[in-house]
Chain A
């Protein structure tokens, strides 16, 4: 059996709109090995969440999904029918969402919701499912787990609810966990705890994780691989240590300038920003989508952009070095 548990090739997602088709995701490739953490980074609207929903088979009916390959373990996701997808979801692949406050059903107890996940996929008694729920709640660091089972979501804080969501996702010991901005809605102090928890759990359970975020600080601490997404395309992919040490695409470097670094960033100096806005993806998009905001844009950027670098650390730019040599002049 191959080590690769998820491989996606040339994934395209189109959303029909009144004024034309929105090309939300335009031909992206990525691969994930057992136990590996891939972080997809990008601004709002870059297509990160849609990509993860496409893997889970949870896209809205109006969205068309096309790909050369989408394979999860032994399952061809492109050919899988609704039954097969249902047997995968919550079982072998699970997902945590951005909104812990609203992601749990207000009408059922925590225990009911946790047990339901296990009982949808395994033939176990309610008592066994609840025992497993207690085990998982303890694992995600919730005290008095047994009494929590009878509580309702509105009785828990946001941090606790996100822990419950994590426990929910892990009920069936999935091989793949997709975490879509799991810490965005939480207090800063809680964010670090939740992130730590996710990292520990993926290691402990040898689980692959796709971590979707717009916070590069998070990526640096957690991810094995990083994929930088801009306007529906992957502009740079590679091992996270590589990408952080030698960011090759001008957009990646722009993102990195936006986070202050202790010791490096001068006190009082303005933080970096990327001027401009993400272009509209309605209608045909050709060439480099970042050219409207890129300080190194040239007329050739309108043409198809070659992929540079090697298989492990790749980027798409007209400049052979991603215009790194010109960066000094601009700054």
Chain B
């Protein structure tokens, strides 16, 4: 198991390095940051001066190296717009996003996996159909619309929950449901398909022939094998939730990292955008790595891969 983990860790670091280089280059090619900083009315000389002050006149590789080494020390420069260190700006916003992302994926897993299992035990039953309906509805419904419906019903009509902000845990209930519901359908259907497949397998018949009870057959023998693709999917969805919760954050006025990304792009705030891209891609890399390790623990055949 340890050689496997080290190998995957090495791969993850390589991917992280590549991603950082590509994202840096792409932003570099996407426009002239000096011109954007100087503003529309600036003269050519002003722009040149700014170019020199910020070091944009140096070769790209030098700029990248400079940026990377600062980034490794936790220094992502200063935000052009907020005039604050990017690192502390992102750290503050990430708290909201992380809370939301973790709650969202937990909500999705805790509802979708049991639903998928139940649906697989009795395929084509009423439960199966209800679960399928919920998942189709979840996939078809845009997050902003579902979020607004929840606000109208629970915040305005019933007055049970606060409509916006991030002050208490109650503020997170509706965003969690909206974000989690978006991830649910895929998890549920993958769990259902996996369970159906595994329940028909020979080793499940062996487990029953041993005299194992149904609960043991389902959870010890079947679910462990059926959940493996779900783990990989959930890792990707988790990465997506952290980076892509902009819509949910806007609807509920949660000022998280997704919202910050949108603000920074709109304002040409290059250091913040660069740092956010790096942070979001690191999330993907970290969660994929964790999913690989978890899967290797679940299925010994993957340890040699």
Whether A58 and B210, one on each chain, are in contact in the complex, defined by CB atoms closer than 8 angstroms, is: no
User: Quick check: B209 and A95 within 8 Å, CB to CB?
Assistant: yes
Within 8 Å by CB of A117, from B201, B210, B299, B300, lies B210
* A87/B224 contact (C-beta < 8 A), A103-B203, A103-B205, A152-B301 known: no
Q: Which of A90, A102, A106, A154 contacts B211 (CB 8 A)?
A: A90
Interface string of B199-218 (1 = CB under 8 A from A): 00111011111111100000
The answer on a CB contact under 8 Å between B225 and A87 is no
Sample (23) of A-B pairs whose CB atoms are under 8 Å apart: A58-B208, A58-B209, A89-B208, A89-B209, A89-B210, A90-B210, A90-B211, A94-B209, A95-B209, A97-B202, A104-B203, A105-B203, A105-B225, A106-B203, A106-B299, A107-B225, A107-B299, A116-B210, A117-B210, A120-B210, A120-B212, A154-B301, A168-B210
On chain A, the residues within 8 Å of B212 by CB distance are 86, 90, 116, 120
CA distance A105 to B201 in the complex (A): 9
Closest residue on chain B to residue A88 by CB atoms: B211
Total A-B residue contacts, Cβ distance less than 8 Å: 64
In the assembled complex, which residues on chain B have CB atoms less than 8 Å from the CB atom of A99?
Answer: 202
Separation in Å of the A32 CB from the closest CB of chain B? 18
Contact count band on A: 20 to 34
In angstroms, Cα B208 to Cα A38, docked, is 23
Fill in one digit per residue for A278-318: 1 if any B CB lies within 8 Å of its CB, else 0: 00000000000000000000000000000000000000000
Main secondary structure of the interface of B (DSSP, over half): helix
Interface size class on chain B is: 10 to 19
Chain B 261-305 interface mask (CB, 8 Å, partner A; 1/0): 000000000000000000000000000000000000011110000
Beta-carbon contact of B221 and A121 below 8 Å: no
Shortest distance from the beta carbon of B195 to any chain A beta carbon, whole Å: 14
- Considering the complex, which residues of chain A in the window 66-91 have a beta carbon less than 8 Å from any beta carbon of chain B? 86-91
Q: Does A56 contact B (CB under 8 A)?
A: yes
> A residues within 8 A CB of B209?
56, 58, 89-90, 94-95, 97
